[in-house]
């Protein structure tokens, strides 16, 4: 099967949307930035559905899809943390925490996989909930920036995402410790 399946094309399209989104936010095109983020989110949902439904999973897709997801969210959070005079700005501590959690998880998975010589890490429910809250945080922040006013909803989603980020990070660490102890 060719690696450039429909699902992989959608993932590549999502990767191309990332710099567009950043540029749109930097230049104050908040409505278009919101639309771009939503389109990227839709392609994320579609690529997985298409790959499973039409038997198109590939190694390339397995590599690119999570990379595209992380790049989209990290880029969105970083640009929304910058002092651009937007009505809603993400706190720097939040962006640093989210990025740090992801780095810690990647390093933990790599170490555990090396230690016990098998792949045993899969996305957890807290991790999936954290990802959903990250997407909501990005979308809501972009939407309220487009609408032109500061909203407490942005703050609420940041704190909800913060709580689940901590829970999911601890969950992965406990899971890793169990795996290493079981050998």
41-88 residue pLDDT tens: 999 989 989 988 998 888 888 888 889 999 999 999 999 999 999 999
Judge whether 144 and 175 are in contact, CB under 8 Å: no
Residues 161, 94: contact at Cβ < 8 Å?
Answer: yes
Cα torsion 5, 106, 70, 16: sign: negative
pLDDT at position 11 is 94
CA dist., res. 86 & res. 115, Å (int): 46
What pLDDT does residue 119 have? 62
Domain 6-182 is found in CATH 1.20.120.1760: yes
The CA distance from 39 to 72, in Å, is: 11
pLDDT for res 68: 93
Structure tokens that stand for 120 in this block:
């045993």
Q: What is the pLDDT of residues 108-159, one digit of tens each?
A: 878 877 777 766 667 789 988 999 999 999 999 999 999 999 999 999 999 9
Residue boundaries of the structural domains of the chain? 6-182
Q: What is the mean pLDDT of residues 93-122?
A: 82
């Amino acid at each position: 099967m060719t690696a450039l399946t429909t699902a992989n094309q959608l993932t590549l399209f999502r990767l191309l949307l990332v710099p567009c989104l950043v540029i749109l936010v930097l230049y104050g095109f908040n409505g278009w930035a919101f639309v771009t983020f939503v389109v990227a989110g839709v392609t994320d949902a579609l690529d997985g559905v298409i790959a499973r439904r039409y038997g198109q999973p590939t190694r390339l897709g397995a590599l690119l899809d999570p990379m595209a997801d992380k790049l989209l969210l990290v880029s969105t959070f970083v640009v929304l943390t910058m002092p651009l005079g937007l009505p809603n700005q993400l706190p720097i501590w939040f962006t640093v925490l989210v990025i740090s959690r992801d780095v810690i998880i990647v390093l933990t998975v790599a170490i555990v996989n090396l230690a016990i010589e098998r792949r045993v890490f899969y996305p957890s429910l807290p991790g999936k909930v954290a990802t959903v809250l990250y997407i909501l945080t990005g979308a809501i922040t972009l939407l309220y920036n487009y609408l032109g006013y500061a909203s407490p909803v942005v703050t609420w989603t940041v704190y909800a995402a913060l709580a689940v980020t901590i829970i999911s990070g601890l969950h992965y660490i406990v899971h890793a410790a169990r795996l290493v102890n079981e050998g």
